Amino acid sequence: MKLKRGLTFVIMSLLAVVMLYPFVFMINTSFKSKEQFLGAAGHSIASWQKILTVMPVGRQLLNSTIVCVGAITIILAVSSLAGFALAKLTFRFSPVFFLGIVGAMLIPLQSIIIPAYINASHWHLLTGYWGAIFLYAALGTPFATFLMTSYFRGLPDDLIEASIVDGLSYPSVFRRIALPLAIPALVTIVVLQFIQIWDDLLVGLLFLQDPNYRTITVGLGALAAGRTTDIPVLMAGSLISAIPAIVVYLIFQKQLISGLTAGIGK
Amino acid sequence: MVINITQIKNKSSLYRQRQKVGLLFSLPALVLVAAFLGLPIYQAMYYSMTKWDGIVAEWLGPSTYLNEFKNPIFWRVIENNALLLMAVPIAILLPMGIAYMLNDKVVGWKFFRTVYFLPTAISWVVIGMVSLRFFAQEGLLNDLLKSFGLGFIRTDLLSSERGALVAVGVTFIWSMVGTNSIIFLTGMATLDISLYEAARMDGASSFRIFRSITLPQLKRFIQFSFIITVISAFTALFSLIFVMTGGGPGFGTTTLEFFVYQSAFSRGNFGTGAMLGVILFVIMAFLGSAQLLLVRNKD
């Protein structure tokens, strides 16, 4: 028994090395100059200085933040409202609405990206952040609504009926009672969406064409696709882009896990 | 009597309020989804039967599909997708083993869980860049082979069509480890412990216990991770391929989702791109409904 546990520990440690290797490689490589990467000894911060000149890092981090905040705000607003309505206010079209919103989960991004791109250009949404913000919001809403609907279904009906008898209207029940109780679900949505939008390339590549509006991931993708051969600089850029998502992950691991496993069903 | 009437009145006014508020509350989500996902998928179906450069569309009819099915490059792309699916069993079984070990809760298991799950937070762009260095001629894979005395093997996976696909597949497996381990770990937390005690009293072997007790109880978790993994293989690898291989060499790593992008935005064939997107949608909708049905049957 002890031997088996010891063996398990050894295997898990080896696996941890495999999973952590890319991060060690990124950190180690980023602290080398181009020459040091090609074989010369020692470390330096040359590549960290260089990444700041080849990529407007500060601006791109700001852009990523703006796009994330914008899209997530919209997702939270529409999905919590819809989730409450679909779970607690059985209205005439609620099954159709639920299917229409949540069913859109089945649509892959690549299937709609071309018409969505053409529409956005007709609607003059490609010049600023709005095209990307709306598309990210639309992509996140189906799953978020699914999550909010299941969460609100778990609230006892008595709670809502009692408040209505006390003279509250449905909108104030939502705002004063249901929404505060749903904070854990809202946090899960924020974490899931933050990582998804922060890490996305395709939407940003097409919908944020002005280099001044590029997110950090798109900036990095463009730099890599530009066949930059300066690997240490790319690794420094990779680390900068990855760190915010890693920090969010480390803090909100639990919420992320509950979001990822929410679709399994009972 | 009077009380009853006011009650009925209240009830029907409440009913009306529910109708109104319900509609009003769910409308923003529906409009957003309809405008940015529903309308485009409808347009994609229309434009898939046209020759379209993004501005002018010329109607051709369903023959566009028939023509595409005669295109050898299309089948090459489908073949790439099919070959990538061969990574799916590994991307499920490996994490299942990992979850099994994590579930033993040996010293430091929480740390290991955090480490294994970390790729979930990392963008495919970053993963692709590191993977590119790993498989490169002067990369770690060759260094490793050399240090094990296998220096004569010297791999150069990324320069051959099949090799590059293997490299993409291995990277895909690596990054699915976290998500699938978490799914199975969640599953193992729900296992009924009393069954194990009973089985052990009856003298069942560990393998027998795993096969007859653990596996059946994990069934819906296996289904879920299967669907997630297949969907990822079809729709999550765009950025990885964009950074790692650009779809090449040749069409060696061009998958359906990457082909959509290439057709439209590199070659300007928006109609063909829309059609490929519709084909992808049909495949995914089929898989997704299968998952929904499986979940529903459980209730």
Check B29 against A145: CB less than 8 A apart.
Answer: yes
Which of chain B's residues have a Cβ under 8 Å away from the Cβ of A32?
Answer: none
Residues 75-94 of chain B with CB under 8 A from chain A are none
Higher pLDDT, A26 or A261: A26
How many angstroms away from the CA of B41 is the closest CA of chain A? Answer: 5
> If DSSP codes are grouped into helix, strand and coil, which group holds residue A28?
helix
Q: How many C-beta atoms lie closer than 10 Å to residue A162's C-beta?
A: 13
Higher pLDDT, A80 or B133: A80
Q: How many C-beta atoms lie closer than 10 Å to residue B63's C-beta?
A: 9
User: Given CB atoms, is A110 within the 8 Å cutoff of chain B?
Assistant: yes
Rounded to the nearest 5 degrees, what angle is found at the Cα of B61, between the Cα atoms of B68 and B256? 30
A174-184: per-residue pLDDT in tens?
A: 999 899 999 99
Q: Cα(B137)–Cα(B151) distance, rounded to whole angstroms?
A: 12
Q: Cα(B185)–Cα(B177) distance, rounded to whole angstroms?
A: 12
What is the overall mean pLDDT for chain A? 89
Q: Give the chain B residue whose CA is nearest to the CA of A14.
A: B112
**Which pTM does this prediction carry?**
0.90
Q: Cα(B22)–Cα(A169) distance, rounded to whole angstroms?
A: 12
Of A89, A92, A202, the CB nearest to B21: A89
B165-223: per-residue pLDDT in tens?
A: 999 999 999 999 988 999 998 888 888 888 888 888 888 888 888 888 888 888 888 88
- The answer on pLDDT for B298 being more than 70 is no
**Whole-complex ipTM:** 0.91
The amino acid occupying position A82 is A
- The answer on pLDDT for B248 being more than 80 is no
Of B36, B104, B298, the CB nearest to A265: B298
- The answer on pLDDT for A266 being more than 60 is no
* Burial grade of B145 (CB within 10 A; 0-12, 13-18, 19 or more): middle
CB B169 within 8 A of CB B84: yes
- What pLDDT sits at residue B299? 47
Q: Cα(B128)–Cα(B170) distance, rounded to whole angstroms?
A: 11
- What pLDDT sits at residue A13? 92
Q: Cα(B151)–Cα(A101) distance, rounded to whole angstroms?
A: 55
A230-245: per-residue pLDDT in tens?
A: 888 889 999 999 999 9
Name the pLDDT band for B11 (thresholds 50, 70, 90). low
Length of chain A: 266
Check A138 against B35: CB less than 8 A apart.
Answer: yes
Higher pLDDT, B177 or A34: B177
Closest by CA position to A27, among listed A199, A244, A242? A242
Half-sphere exposure of B217 (CA within 13 A, CB side): 18
Which of chain B's residues have a Cβ under 8 Å away from the Cβ of A195?
Answer: 120-121
- The answer on pLDDT for B296 being more than 70 is no
Phi, psi dihedrals of residue B251, rounded to the nearest 5°: -110, 20
Check B36 against A116: CB less than 8 A apart.
Answer: yes
Check B106 against A8: CB less than 8 A apart.
Answer: yes
User: Given CB atoms, is B217 within the 8 Å cutoff of chain A?
Assistant: no
Q: Cα(A46)–Cα(A48) distance, rounded to whole angstroms?
A: 5
Q: Give the chain B residue whose CA is nearest to the CA of A106.
A: B285
How many angstroms away from the CA of B136 is the closest CA of chain A? Answer: 12
Q: Cα(B100)–Cα(B214) distance, rounded to whole angstroms?
A: 10
User: Given CB atoms, is B274 within the 8 Å cutoff of chain A?
Assistant: yes
Which of chain A's residues have a Cβ under 8 Å away from the Cβ of B242?
Answer: 201, 221, 225
- The answer on pLDDT for B139 being more than 50 is yes
Strands (E), A186-252: none
Q: Cα(A97)–Cα(A100) distance, rounded to whole angstroms?
A: 5
